[in-house]
Amino acid sequence: MNIIPEIQAMNEDLTSLRRWFHAHPELGFEEFQTSDRIAAELESYGIDVYRGLGKTGVVGILQGNKGNRAIGLRADMDALPMHELNMFAHRSEHSGKMHACGHDGHIVMLLGAARFLSTNNNFKGTVVFIFSPAEENGSGAKVMVDDGIFERFPVDAVFGLHNWPGIESNTFGVRSGAILAGSAEFDIRIIGMGAHAAMPHNGRDPILTGAHIVTALQGIITRNKNPLETAVLTIARFHSGEARNVIPDEAVLTGTVRALTEETLDLIAARIQAVADNVAAAHECKVEFNVRRCPATINSSDEARFAASVMREIVGDNAVDDNIEPSMGTEDFSYMLRARPGALAFLGAGDGSHREIGHGSGPCLLHNNSYDFNDAILPVGSTYWVELARTWLSIPA
């Protein structure tokens, strides 16, 4: 591997910094301590820092030599509302909050690149370091775009990087087109009429209605969607009632849809509402339907190919999959890719064998209570950011 020696020499510092972020997780739009630490690190490197975009977002600007090209490098920084099962020294100090998706590592890989480039700024143009909040609720990047990040700090392209457990560590994956699915998160509130459990004919049962809706919704995937289009629909929560002898007034179903095209996502979301309305009507109940969407993450072809070429220079041909299978996970980086060309890539994080004594009993998978970022890949990620930026900026406009 061609890891930049100065970055490899930083690995102890990067590891310590990553573990600090892991121990101090904050949820979306609450990343106050996180953004303060990021800003302080960037300022210590002599990088200009701007705050307030996307509420808690941080932007660092580094000017190289004369040049009119600019590149955006983005890391997400929020944690998840999860209880950590790991018991090692850098476990979460905030109960019910956990970096279970590796955003702590994403932050530090980008900070490592910023630190190196600040003292090796023999490149042309401008590097825009973007630390984006609230990725987990699918809106932080959108808010930054809506706040005018690319009007205030124009870039020719923007790139993202996500660690990926289950792929061999220090390998990369990227593809042109959709690499992550779009999502529609929905809530179905079923409004019935409460009654005594022994006298159900006096009420309108929202639980029975909800059970029929849950079953009927899967027919959308098997009968309404084109079978050649990939999509998944999940009901993840069904909440209703408090007592065993009372038919409640209402029930709430919560779930998500994932699809790789906007057309399929639109179709399924519309059918969910229609099915819920009509099944509820058949049971003499009513429905309130709410949906929140995040588009698919679609890499532009030129930028995906360019990213793959940089990866190969670092880890070699055999460690780069430039047509990796897309995931049905969702990333709000999609909003940035709607605004500018670019590419999101995966960096393999291994099988979890890197975890220290005291880790939880679960697997080292994203969004698992026993997850921990693989610190050994930090230098590879930082090197990728550096070489991506230097090579991109060297191309004539």
Residues 70-103 pLDDT 10s: 999 999 999 999 999 999 999 999 999 999 999 9
What one-character DSSP code corresponds to residue 142? H
Nearest one of 386, 383, 376 to 105, comparing CA atoms:
376
Shared-domain flag, residues 288 and 336: no
State the maximum Cα–Cα separation within the chain, in Å, rounded to a whole number.
80
Shared-domain flag, residues 15 and 137: yes
Shared-domain flag, residues 222 and 237: yes
Which of 262, 294, 326 is where one domain is finished? 294
Shared-domain flag, residues 53 and 143: yes
pLDDT of amino acid 5: 98
Q: Is the pLDDT of residue 337 over 80?
A: yes
Shared-domain flag, residues 237 and 331: no
pLDDT of amino acid 138: 86
| Number of domains the chain is built from | 2
Task: Assign 396 a pLDDT band (cuts: 50, 70, 90).
Answer: confident
Nearest one of 176, 177, 204 to 191, comparing CA atoms:
204
pLDDT tens column, 33-64: 999 999 999 999 999 999 999 999 999 999 99
pLDDT of amino acid 51: 97
Q: Please give the Cα distance from 352 to 355 (Å, whole number).
A: 6
Q: Which amino acid is at 192?
A: G
- Contacts for 311-319: CB closer than 8 Å, 24+ residues apart: 311/172, 311/174, 311/345, 311/384, 313/2, 313/387, 314/1, 314/2, 314/3, 314/380, 314/383, 314/384, 314/387, 315/1, 315/2, 315/170, 315/171, 315/172, 315/380, 316/1, 319/168, 319/170, 319/171, 319/172
Q: What is the CATH number of the domain that holds 279?
A: 3.30.70.360
Q: What is the CATH number of the domain that holds 147?
A: 3.40.630.10
Shared-domain flag, residues 272 and 303: no
Shared-domain flag, residues 86 and 176: yes
Q: Is the pLDDT of residue 294 over 90?
A: yes
Q: Please give the Cα distance from 273 to 276 (Å, whole number).
A: 5
Task: Assign 153 a pLDDT band (cuts: 50, 70, 90).
Answer: very high
pLDDT of amino acid 30: 98
Shared-domain flag, residues 307 and 267: no
How large is the average pLDDT for residues 311-325? 98
Shared-domain flag, residues 233 and 95: no
Task: Assign 275 a pLDDT band (cuts: 50, 70, 90).
Answer: very high
Q: Is the pLDDT of residue 291 over 80?
A: yes
pLDDT of amino acid 111: 98
Q: Is the pLDDT of residue 65 over 90?
A: no
Shared-domain flag, residues 11 and 136: yes
Which of 294, 309, 340 is where one domain is finished? 294
Shared-domain flag, residues 97 and 18: yes
Shared-domain flag, residues 73 and 168: yes
Q: Which residues contact 173 (CB under 8 A, 6 or more apart)?
A: 164, 167, 320, 321, 324, 345, 346, 348
Residue span of the structural domain in which 308 resides: 5-180+297-394
Q: Is the dihedral of CA 110, 114, 116, 122 positive or negative?
A: positive
Q: Is the pLDDT of residue 397 over 80?
A: no
pLDDT tens column, 219-260: 999 999 999 999 999 999 999 999 999 999 999 999 999 999
pLDDT of amino acid 66: 83
In the chain, the percentage of residues whose pLDDT exceeds 90 is: 97
Q: What is the mean pLDDT of the chain?
A: 97
Which of 268, 294, 320 is where one domain is finished? 294
